[in-house]
Amino acid sequence: MKPEELVDLKGGRVHMDAYRNPEVFAEEMRRIFHKVWIYVGHESEIPSTGDYKTSYLGQVPVIVSRDEDMGINVLVNRCAHRGTTVCQRDSGNASYFKCEYHAWVYNNKGALTGVALRRGYADSELPKDIGLQRIPKVDTYQGLIFASLNPDVESLVDYLGHARSYLDDWVRQTPSGQVDLRGGDWKLTYRGNWKLQAENSTEGYHPDFLHQAAVQVQVYNSNRRRAAAGVQGQARPQRTATLDGLGRDLGRGHNLLEVPQVQLLARRRYSQEFIDELSDSYGEDQLGNVLGPPWRLLIFPNLAIAGSNLRVINPLSVDETDVRQYFVDLPTAPDAVRAFRREQEQGFYGPSGYGGPDDVEMFERMQEGFKSGAASTLDPWVLFTRQMEDEKVLPDGQRVGGHTSEIMQRAVYRGWVRQMSEEA
């Protein structure tokens, strides 16, 4: 089967080989992760000269560095000599990277500046212009750093398309527009395909069921706080399905889950004074977009943003994935707001959170279920048909549907097919 035949868009189905076949995975690296814009970091992680962090373009290890001219470099983390990685840390500050094997040294723009026992090499034995290879395309949007191995990739602005206005709102959560990702990050690895995390990050169908225990704990904690503060009445769990919301297919695989009720939660922690400041900065009619903000966004293929959380999906193999998660701090927001966001992050997503692990457990169970694909007589399809008939196409090409529909997941596969088909 050709890769693009593994997705039946009209029928709302995906073949299990898309999650379990190593050849499909290799094609995904070639046609998606080496072709489009891939998120590699945020400017707040490398604010000063010499700052660096490591990341991946698919399976390609890279160093994202801030050089002496304040430029951003994305360099392949691979010594030009025999291939050893030259940087082992997640982040730090360094003007030079030294390979531990034979001590070749590179500056943070990637140039080779030192070869140990240089005199032992004849001039012809060292190729000219070697160094850490540079990723040809690097660009930023609202502080988010993207890179592409494809020298002919379309502009980042075009690639982000309809997703841009949400990223604009993301930095307008405070009048200063500051976002800081250095408040705490962690990494998890699960035994499952990378697309399981991509599908899940904006899904509105599962929370009422899978995260029931998390919701109960949240309600329990909030009732304890109310009782301690002498507040009358009890909070009750609210089901996502009973709220108003929307799902959006933003094109190119990007998609969004929008539940405005989220703002009400956030609003309670915002002082009127701060709301007035926001309103003065961006206009009262914009408050609904910038408070909260009330959505979860997937930038295909590897970036998901949801409230206090930003996650990066790094595929390791067809059935193993790394997810690196960051707390999104707003350094100039009122203390109560920052504390609320931190609470949400630690309580739901963090290593001791009671929500995030639910999803990861489902990814591993799905990958186990996909083993049934080994028998050619069994049904090989998984379904994404929910509320497919209600999907509407807007004049600007966006598609909208219900917030518990599977329009977001169909969006992922519409983007996937676009990249995986021969013409792409």
Taking each helix axis from N to C end, the angle separating 335-344 and 261-269, rounded to the nearest 10 degrees, works out to 130
Minimum CB separation of residue 65 from ligand FES in Å reads: 18
Stretch that binds ligand FES, among 99-107, 182-190, 293-301, 411-419 (CB under 6 A): 99-107
Position 81 contacts ligand FES (CB under 6 A): yes
Position 102 contacts ligand FES (CB under 6 A): yes
Handedness of CA 415, 420, 423, 424 (dihedral sign): positive
Position 104 contacts ligand FES (CB under 6 A): yes
The one of Fe ion, ligand FES, none whose footprint includes residue 98, by CB under 5 to 8 A per kind, is none
Question: What beta strand segments (E) does 284-403 contain?
Answer: 295-299, 303-306, 309-317, 320-327, 381-383, 392-393, 399-401
The position carrying tokens 């050089």 is 67
Residue placing its CB nearer to ligand FES in the complex, 30 or 81:
81
Centroid of chain to Cα 80: 30
Subset of 358-387 contacting Fe ion (CB under 5 A): 359
Residues 6+ apart with CB under 8 A from 85: 61, 77, 78, 79
Minimum CB separation of residue 132 from ligand FES in Å reads: 11
Residue placing its CB nearer to ligand FES in the complex, 85 or 346:
85
Question: What is the C-alpha to C-alpha distance for residues 293 and 309, in angstroms, rounded to an integer?
Answer: 12
The number of residues that bind ligand FES (CB under 6 A) is 8
The one of ligand FES, Fe ion, none whose footprint includes residue 359, by CB under 5 to 8 A per kind, is Fe ion
Centroid of chain to Cα 32: 15
298 to 163, 302, 357, 364: CA distances (angstroms): 9, 8, 19, 21
Question: Which token pair is 255?
Answer: 């998609």
The one of ligand FES, Fe ion, none whose footprint includes residue 164, by CB under 5 to 8 A per kind, is none
The one of ligand FES, Fe ion, none whose footprint includes residue 104, by CB under 5 to 8 A per kind, is ligand FES
Q: Which helix (H) or strand (E) holds 65?
A: strand 60-66
Minimum CB separation of residue 109 from ligand FES in Å reads: 18
Q: How many residues does the chain have?
A: 424
**Half-sphere exposure of residue 327: CA atoms within 13 angstroms, side-chain side:** 23
Minimum CB separation of residue 218 from Fe ion in Å reads: 14
3-state secondary structure of 146: strand
Subset of 366-385 contacting ligand FES (CB under 6 A): none
Position 82 contacts ligand FES (CB under 6 A): yes
Residue placing its CB nearer to ligand FES in the complex, 120 or 233:
120
Minimum CB separation of residue 54 from ligand FES in Å reads: 17
**Half-sphere exposure of residue 213: CA atoms within 13 angstroms, side-chain side:** 8
What are the φ/ψ torsions at residue 283 (nearest 5 degrees)? 100, 140
Question: Which token pair is 55?
Answer: 């990341």
Subset of 89-148 contacting Fe ion (CB under 5 A): none
Of 75, 79, 303, 306, the residue at the interface with ligand FES (CB under 6 A) is 79
Minimum CB separation of residue 206 from Fe ion in Å reads: 6
Stretch that binds Fe ion, among 22-30, 183-191, 351-359, 372-380 (CB under 5 A): 351-359
Query: Which residues in this chain contact ligand FES in the complex, by CB under 6 A?
Result: 79, 81-82, 84, 99, 101-102, 104
Query: Which residues in this chain contact Fe ion in the complex, by CB under 5 A?
Result: 359
